[in-house]
Amino acid sequence: MTTPFSLTPLKQYIDDQNEPICAYYYDLDYLSERIQWITRELPEQVNFYYAIKANSDKPVLRTLAPYVYGFEVASLGEINKVRQATPDKPIAFGGPGKTSVELQGALESNVELYHIESELQLIRLNTLAKDAGKPVKVLLRINPYFSLPNATLQMAGKPTQFGVDQHQIESILKSLGNYSNISCVGFHFHALSNNLDAKSHLLLIQNYIELAQMWQRAFGFEIELINVGGGIGFNYEPHGSQFDWELYCDGLTLIFEQSGIEFKLAMECGRFVTAPIGCYVAEVTDLKTNHGENFAILRGGSHHFRLPSSWQHNHPFKIVPKEQWNWPCSRPGFNQENITLCGELCTPKDVLGKQVHVEQVRVGDLVLFEHAGAYGWHISHHDFLSHPHPERIYIQNNQLTFPKEY
Ligand SMILES: Cc1ncc(COP(=O)(O)O)c(C=O)c1O
């Protein structure tokens, strides 16, 4: 994957603004190339879903739709977004808290696959599907016991609210005959987030397959599909090595060749698809030194871009100089200093980079946070303090667009 994320069109936009800038910028041309590269490398026995929780903007979903098998969602709101953006794509519906209202809505929206996270979800879905006269396909989500590779977040392999404990699966498998409208076609695993190591990810998948095959033999039922989740990482460290996607795809091909499995695999990736396609830009509105430390205050913050504070990391950034200065005083600035990049919120937690080195920054310059395309806007608490939302800018076919609805 060689295409660089292009910032050139954004420079024009920046020069044209008179008010303090605060914007998300997504490059849909780059996204289109990226998803084609991702899916081209995969063996054909893999159904690739995009996990829309990472970035559910409709232009993003529309750009991905021609190249992905389907979309993975975790709420009725996400189902509605997919159906509005791209009405006919398959949807897989996961999440530990699916309510009866959401299950009903999913049935009405013809969701293709349900990831079941508890016995009660199974009972509820069967009851509603029976009332609706619809057969449904499910995967049972497992919280397995084996140890997992290093990753930033871990959802399984330890006590969590996700999935069904591996040791309780047998009793559910024995009871499947009681569910008239449910056909259980396999298993679902999503155990971690942001794994950067392709080899350990392949081992994890082999573990999933072996566990599923053990149940297949013991219960003599046919597996159609194993969903191995998302969790492919994106390295936010400047110059850090990225997940080796080619190696991973070659490894998957080998797994199919050597194990002779006849079922398909599904993946549901979010971060790996959209992290590098966006950036968040916020203007410096003030600079100060306080108790011996330097601070930059931005027109924006964690209410738009919660990723750095949620992961407690310094997010990679660039200073983009802006030359206008219309105030009747000399322009405040720092040269060759460490500074803390703060948002405009009234909380000391609103920090996007702590004591990071800058060559030069002046009030009115922009801080551009790179790789903000996934879990940026979409995990943030947008209305805290009622500041205006950032502008949304997409580039498509080399043109900037500013849709009001996304
Ligand atoms: C069930 C499930 N699937 C897929 C994903 C996407 O994960 P990632 O963005 O790490 O690929 C998540 C993220 O939390 C998830 O909870």
Q: What is the mean pLDDT of residues 216-220?
A: 90
Sign of CA dihedral 91, 62, 272, 21: negative
> What are the phi and psi torsion angles at 381 (to 5°)?
-95, 80
- Percentage of the chain beyond pLDDT 70 is 99
CA-to-CA separations, 390 to 107, 118, 279, 319, in angstroms, rounded: 35, 39, 12, 18
Tokens of 404: 């009001």
What residues line ligand 1, using a CB cutoff of 6 Å? 51, 53-54, 72, 94, 190, 193, 229-232, 268-272
Please report which confidence band the pLDDT of residue 303 belongs to, taking 50, 70 and 90 as the band edges. very high
CA 98 distance to own-chain centroid: 19
Q: Which of 38, 50, 53 to mutate to test the pocket of ligand 1 (most atoms within 8 A of CB)?
A: 53
Summarised one tens digit per residue, pLDDT across range 346-384 is 999 999 999 999 999 999 999 999 999 999 999 999 999
- Give the CA dihedral 157, 159, 165, 167, nearest 10 degrees: 80
Please report which confidence band the pLDDT of residue 3 belongs to, taking 50, 70 and 90 as the band edges. low
Active site residue 346: yes
* Domains of the chain as residue ranges with CATH: 8-25+276-401 (2.40.37.10), 90-269 (3.20.20.10)
Q: What is the 177 CA–ligand 1 centroid distance (Å)?
A: 30
Summarised one tens digit per residue, pLDDT across range 78-128 is 999 999 999 999 999 999 999 999 999 999 999 999 999 999 999 999 999
Asked whether the predicted pLDDT for residue 2 surpasses 70, the reply is no
Summarised one tens digit per residue, pLDDT across range 125-174 is 999 999 999 999 999 999 999 877 776 778 888 888 999 999 999 999 99
Distance in angstroms (rounded) separating the CA atoms of residues 229 and 77? 21
| Residue 323 or 9, more confident | 323
Residue 371 backbone zone (phi > 0: left; psi -120 to 50: alpha; other: beta): left
Q: What is the 387 CA–ligand 1 centroid distance (Å)?
A: 29
Q: What is the 294 CA–ligand 1 centroid distance (Å)?
A: 37
Give yes or no for a contact between 107 and 130, defined as CB atoms under 8 angstroms apart: no
Question: What is the structure's pLDDT at 1?
Answer: 53
Q: Which of 114, 268, 277, 310 to mutate to test the pocket of ligand 1 (most atoms within 8 A of CB)?
A: 268
Give yes or no for a contact between 71 and 113, defined as CB atoms under 8 angstroms apart: no
